[in-house]
Amino acid sequence: MHSNFSKQILTANTAQHLVSFLLFLLLLSPAYAVDHPFLSAQELAWIQDHPTPIRVHNELDWRPFNFNEDNKPKGYSIDYMNLIAEKAGLEVEYVSGPNWNEFQEMMKDGSLDLMINIASTKERRTYLTFTEPYIITSTALYVGSSENSIADLDDLAGKKIGFTEGFFFGEFIRKYYPEIEIVTFDSTLASFIGVDKGLIDAAMEVPVVAQRVLLESNLDTVKLGGVVSDPRFIATFSIATRKDQLTLNSIIQKGMDAISSTEELAIRQKWKIEEAELPLLKADDKSHLQKLGALRLCVNPSNLPLEAVNLDGTLTGVSSEFVGLLASRIEIPFNMVQPEDWTGIQLLSWQSEENVIYCQW
């Protein structure tokens, strides 16, 4: 009896090792390498060493980016994450139910692997590593239908602002607008109801989400107050991994890079992202830029990973992503200027030419 039991254990262990060995061979096979040519040997080995699905956060109701309907994860960020997983050969398991703060605590204790549509802040960077942003959008204030004196953050001194607990708005408002009192809610809808009931003077949210909430809730007592003009509140959402998962972060970033503009556009159109976005610039600001004409972008020709200039004269690096998105959003072209050294940068600065802008050096 004991001998048979031992043989069963041996057989089970042998089968398990055989499956693992075959999976390892598959990952290193030429066919797999062709399907995932952008992954390094280290990254392929990481996938082989982590056969369990990657645990990704799924919110209950942050339409159209990330929500759960009939126990099924849906939204722009979900489709985007699924496409990354397909490109990189990852399996994904979505975790639904916790609120935003609880998801962040799960990242800290290791029970969650990824958070999507999350903004990079100083505090979060202490325990998370972020990819390049894949969503860049404005932030707006929403007020009562009879309120006409609140259009921007400066109008809220001594007043109350509300938003979903744990959102990056809180960190920035506490630092840059300490005179505004913060009230947090469980959801965007709850914050809008707070406006309706007079609990707060304004709610803050990205317009794409806010318009969906107002439309679906039939809450006609809340309206758009204005787009936040402080550029620090332009929402740049990325994908975040834990600090101890740098290889996974690299895999995710490469999966993002492998997504074509056509594929990304298809997802944006599916969820009607552009239709709900508000312009980042006011009419007067846009008119001023148009009068200036093409903006001159001062770049460092060799400062990777931030920026560098390719042999063909095009910009590469993190800055190139932001510049491309900015140019498309403000509809103003950029022309690169390449000073030879720091003295050249200072000279341009001293000239105080209005149409010269810089990425961070």
Tens digit of each residue's pLDDT (9 = 90 or more) over 29-59: 444 444 667 899 999 999 999 999 999 999 9
Q: What average pLDDT does the segment 246-252 reach?
A: 97
Structure tokens at 359: 């990425």
pLDDT at 1: 46
Cα(318)–Cα(305) distance, rounded to whole angstroms? 6
Percentage of residues in the chain having pLDDT higher than 90:
63
Q: Is the pLDDT of residue 205 over 90?
A: yes
Helix/strand number for the chain, H first, E second: 14, 20
Model pLDDT for residues 262-303, shown as the tens digit of each residue: 999 999 999 998 755 555 566 677 777 777 777 777 777 777
**Where does 281-358 sit in CATH, by number?**
3.40.190.10
Q: Is the pLDDT of residue 20 over 50?
A: no
Provide the residue count of the chain: 361
Q: Is the pLDDT of residue 94 over 50?
A: yes
∠350-355-361 over CA atoms, to 5°?
60
Domain 36-135+236-270: give its CATH architecture. Answer: 3-Layer(aba) Sandwich (3.40)
Q: Is the pLDDT of residue 9 over 70?
A: no
pLDDT at 278: 56
Structure tokens at 139: 């932030």
Q: What is the pTM of this model?
A: 0.72
Helix (H/G/I), strand (E/B), else coil: 160: strand
Model pLDDT for residues 133-180, shown as the tens digit of each residue: 999 999 999 999 999 999 999 999 999 999 999 999 999 999 999 999
pLDDT at 158: 98
Looking at CATH, the fold of the domain delimited by 139-233 is given as D-Maltodextrin-Binding Protein; domain 2 (3.40.190)
Structure tokens at 235: 């929402």
